Amino acid sequence: MSVALITGANKGIGLETAKQLAETGVTVLLGARDLAKGEAAAAPLKAAGLDVRAVKIDIDDAADHVAVAAYIEKEFGVLDILINNAGVMLDNFPAPNQTSTTSRDLLQKTLDTNLLAPIALTQTLLPLIRKSAAGRIVNLSSILGSLTLHATKGSPIYEAKTFAYDTSKAALNSFTIHLAHELADTKIKVNSAHPGWVKTDMGTDAAPMEIPDGAKTSVWLATLPEDGPSGGFFHMQDALPW
């Protein structure tokens, strides 16, 4: 039995990732800031026979990191998969480039949730992941974190400059690269996932992709075989430029 924790999993891509991962036989801990909302989201999956259990985790609350680690230690003794799915976009979107007027407060809130919180949670849970026979860490990034594509005129994202969000995802990609390098001599694989532009609260109805497709990259990276990649940035199974 493999055990996975997915943050921000009571709706959208996170919830669909929980469903698809549980369908492979993984025990999924469905992380939610509001436990009641998490339990409500988990209920239909449980009714379908899937092993999905709601856990309270506000990724911005260090106490929740410690509490969920203690719960996993007590119940399972190991964590096989961590999917850092929770995130926010606080920039105005769509809007013209507002880099020069992006406030420090907006930058701080974005970096706290999209970068510093996943790093802290991963560091807290890493001792449990090290106990896994095949640990997998998936950081939900975005193509908007690609510095190469942002700097390339004519690229799909060249005109889409949401400074705080883009910066947080570029930095999260850096965390992926650095942690993968540190863990290169272990069986743990660390990768960044771009789910695609998906019809979610963040993606809006203007997005071209449906939620089931938006979960596929995370599920693939969470279930990589021993010879799978580590330290990469992917959409579906295609590598993206940093």
Is 37 marked active-site? no
For residue 46, the one-letter residue type is K
The candidate with the shortest Cα–Cα distance to 218, out of 15, 46, 78, 11, is 15
Using alpha carbons only, how large is the chain's radius of gyration in Å?
A: 17
For residue 94, say if its preceding peptide bond is cis, omega within 30 degrees of 0: yes
- Measured at the CA of 207, the angle between CA 153 and CA 113, to 5 degrees, comes to 80
Query: Is 194 in contact with 13 (CB distance < 8 Å)?
Result: no
Contacts of 96 (CB under 8 A, 6+ apart): none
Which residue out of 56, 165, 189, 216 is catalytically annotated?
165
169 is catalytic: yes
Smallest CA-to-CA distance from 193 within 156, 220, 213 is with 220
Catalytic residue among 56, 169, 189, 199: 169
Element containing residue 18 per DSSP (H, E) = helix 12-22
Q: Which of 86, 186, 172 is nearest to 129 (CA)?
A: 186
Give catalytic residues, as residue numbers. 165, 169
